[in-house]
Amino acid sequence: MAITTPPPSGASYSPEIRLPQLPQLSRLATCVLLILALVVLGACYKWFVQRVQVDPGNVLVLMRKVGQYLPPDAEGQVVLYPALLKQLGEPIDSVKYKGILYEVLPEGRHFYDPFLYERRIVPATFIEQDEIGILIRKYGRPLPPGKIVATKPDERDPPDEHGPLEERGPLEKPLRQGRHNINPFAYEVKRFRQIRIPEGSVGVQTLFSGKQPVNPNRYVVDEGELGVQPAVLPPGLYFRNPYVWRIDIIDVRSHTHDLRDDDAIHFPSKDSFEIVIEGTVEYAIRQDMAPYVMAAIGNHDDIRKKLILPYMKSFARIEGSKLEAREFISGETRKAFQDKVFEGLLKQCAAQGIEIRATLIRRIEPPTEIADPISDRQVAQQQVSRYQNEIKLAQSQAKLVEQEEIQKQNQAIGQADREVVSIIKEAEEHQAVALTGANKRFEVAKLELEAAQETAAALVARGQAAAEIVLLDYKAQANPLRDAVNAFGGGETYAQYFFYQKLGPALKSVLASTDGPFADIFRTLSASKEARTDRSSQPE
């Protein structure tokens, strides 16, 4: 506790407060605390100032603020790409110059001083399934005249002072489906849909980037040269760089062109009558000649206007001028005329890559001054033909009726024959069935007779056996009796013996029984004897 002393007398009193003094730290502890403070301050500075958090789906682009400006020969360059640093004699990770760093950093946590770098978070590039991405390079030297795709430095080009630089413009290799970390200050990404060639069509390829053709005056160049390529693409899906390739879809299915109205063919006949023809031409582009057709002729409208219509008119006039007007009315002449026009058109168009599949002359209009008489004559001829056909039809009908009657008669005869045959077959079947039944009954009767004969034989055998058994039984009974009679010396003696033998047991039974008349007799005799005894014993 602080101690205050009173002031001397006569002086004003002002209390003096003394604070407690802190303990003094040693130099070592002070240095340790200072270092800890600096470490904490540095950590806070790094975490709260230098830290950059890049979320998923984004990339980090860095722009160096400190360093030297690019030399005058690199004027216009703002991206520090590897070829430029190599030309300036610096390594890829050099920090000597200001500018935009070429490489980008993916999502995550990064630490860069905002006083040294400008930090920009931009979205990453995502290419969908049905598209491609074309990189447009923003840095590098300008493309030479006539070149539209930025390729790798050509060794044939005259080298720069520090080596060849990359070219500015579209790149040849496309980006496929997926994520790509692209620096938006170094490249621009343009998206293009896939090329679909439908069924019945082919794709004609035109190459924009490649070697110069050996013969530049041809419509179709050799494979790999600048210009229309000889190979075509079949139906399917394709990813092609539109700065390198152009794909023209050519329909190679059948097409028809009607020659009527303004396209109808007018020409004079051999006898100087004007003939008007209308028809239809069916054609198709040959697949192997599709590149030539596209380059030399054009599309289907050009094919109709430049090939089919001129050739058709030319051949129709050439072949038609050989015939007189009346010959165009006859069907045979028209067919011959049509075949000649078709052959000529087929030959000429085949050399141009066009396949003529059919030529049909639908209408030929001769002049009316000869068409009417010829038409009347043809009508009369048609009537005569019709009458002749009717006569032939009546004769045919008469023959048909006769044939029908003959057929009916033949059917009746056939029916009667079938009935007779049926009756005969039925009688034969009944006879066969009756004969079969009689044979079966005969066989059964025969079997029954044999069975009766066997049964009778069995009965006779059984009777004889039974008689022999009875005889043997009697013999067995008579022999002991005969022997017994012979033993007693005669039949009377044996009869007495037999009688006494039968009588003895009966007498014994009678005499031994206490019941019956003999017993009563003996009881009466016994009772009378006892009575006489009793009377004799009594005193008188």
pLDDT tens column, 494-506: 777 777 777 777 6
Q: What is the mean pLDDT of the chain?
A: 81
pLDDT at res. 374: 60
Q: Are 283 and 308 in contact (CB under 8 A)?
A: yes
Report the amino acid identity of residue 238: Y
Q: How confident is the model at residue 329 (pLDDT cuts 50, 70, 90)?
A: low
pLDDT at res. 161: 43
Q: How confident is the model at residue 163 (pLDDT cuts 50, 70, 90)?
A: very low
Phi, psi of 352 (to 5 degrees): -100, 10
Identify the residue whose tokens are 């990813």: 239
Report the amino acid identity of residue 5: T
pLDDT at res. 293: 92
Q: Which residue has the higher pLDDT, 464 or 21?
A: 464
Closest CA to 353 of 299, 302, 291: 291
Q: How confident is the model at residue 14 (pLDDT cuts 50, 70, 90)?
A: low
pLDDT at res. 275: 79
Q: How confident is the model at residue 6 (pLDDT cuts 50, 70, 90)?
A: low
Q: How confident is the model at residue 1 (pLDDT cuts 50, 70, 90)?
A: very low
* Rounded-to-integer distance, Cα 143 and Cα 208, Å: 14
In this prediction, residues 480-487 reach a mean pLDDT of 77
Q: How many angstroms from the chain centroid is the CA of residue 518? A: 129
In this prediction, residues 427-433 reach a mean pLDDT of 84
Burial pattern 442-476, b for ≥16 Cβ within 10 A else e, equals: eeeeeeeeeeeeeeeeeeeeeeeeeeeeeeeeeee
Q: For helices 331-350 and 309-320, what crossing angle results, to 10°?
A: 140
Of the listed ranges 5-9, 30-34, 222-226, 353-357, the least confidently predicted one is 5-9
DSSP line for 314-383: HHHHHHHTTS-GGGGTSHHHHHHHHHHHHHHHHHHHHTTTEEEEEEEEEEEE--HHHHHHHHHHHHHHHH
Q: Are 135 and 175 in contact (CB under 8 A)?
A: yes
Query: Which of helix, strand or coil describes residue 193?
Result: strand
Whether the predicted pLDDT of 268 surpasses 50: yes
Whether the predicted pLDDT of 159 surpasses 80: no
pLDDT at res. 512: 64
pLDDT at res. 280: 87
Whether the predicted pLDDT of 158 surpasses 60: no
pLDDT at res. 459: 85
pLDDT at res. 198: 94
Q: 3-state SS string over 82-150?
A: HHHHHHCCCCCCCCCECEEECCCECCEEEECCCCCEEEEEEECEEECCCEEEEEEECCCECCCCCCCCE
Distance of CA 143 to CAs 17, 82, 170, 487, Å?
A: 86, 19, 10, 169
Of the listed ranges 126-140, 175-189, 518-532, the least confidently predicted one is 518-532
* Rounded-to-integer distance, Cα 65 and Cα 56, Å: 26
Q: Which residue has the higher pLDDT, 5 or 311?
A: 311
pLDDT digits 0-9 by tens, 169-203: 999 889 999 999 999 999 999 999 999 999 999 99
Q: pLDDT over 90 for what percent of the chain? A: 25
Closest CA to 349 of 220, 247, 255, 219: 255
Q: 246 pairs with which residues across the strands?
A: 206
Q: How many angstroms from the chain centroid is the CA of residue 102? A: 49
Of the listed ranges 50-54, 114-118, 402-406, the least confidently predicted one is 402-406
In this prediction, residues 62-88 reach a mean pLDDT of 85
Q: Are 204 and 291 in contact (CB under 8 A)?
A: yes
Query: Which of helix, strand or coil describes residue 279?
Result: strand
pLDDT at res. 25: 59
Q: Which residue has the higher pLDDT, 517 or 228?
A: 228
Whether the predicted pLDDT of 28 surpasses 80: yes
Of the listed ranges 72-81, 247-256, 436-445, the least confidently predicted one is 72-81
Whether the predicted pLDDT of 3 surpasses 80: no
Judging by DSSP bridges, how do beta strands 58-64 and 274-285 pair with one another?
A: unpaired
Judging by DSSP bridges, how do beta strands 201-207 and 227-233 pair with one another?
A: antiparallel
Write the DSSP symbol of residue 288: G
Judging by DSSP bridges, how do beta strands 195-197 and 201-207 pair with one another?
A: unpaired
Whether the predicted pLDDT of 75 surpasses 50: yes
Closest CA to 239 of 130, 150, 151: 130
CB neighbours of 256 closer than 8 A, spacing ≥ 6? Answer: 280, 281, 282, 283
pLDDT digits 0-9 by tens, 36-55: 989 999 889 889 999 999 99
Q: Are 295 and 228 in contact (CB under 8 A)?
A: yes
Q: Which residue has the higher pLDDT, 36 or 322?
A: 36
Q: Is the pTM of this model over 0.75?
A: no
* Rounded-to-integer distance, Cα 69 and Cα 78, Å: 10
pLDDT at res. 160: 46
* Rounded-to-integer distance, Cα 475 and Cα 481, Å: 10
Q: pLDDT over 70 for what percent of the chain? A: 82
Whether the predicted pLDDT of 402 surpasses 50: yes
Q: How many angstroms from the chain centroid is the CA of residue 63? A: 55
Whether the predicted pLDDT of 231 surpasses 90: yes
* Rounded-to-integer distance, Cα 338 and Cα 328, Å: 11
Q: Which residue has the higher pLDDT, 16 or 71?
A: 71
pLDDT digits 0-9 by tens, 89-107: 889 888 889 999 999 999 9
Phi, psi of 123 (to 5 degrees): -70, 145
Q: How many angstroms from the chain centroid is the CA of residue 31? A: 81
Of the listed ranges 319-333, 392-406, 452-466, 500-514, the least confidently predicted one is 500-514
pLDDT at res. 61: 95
pLDDT at res. 428: 84
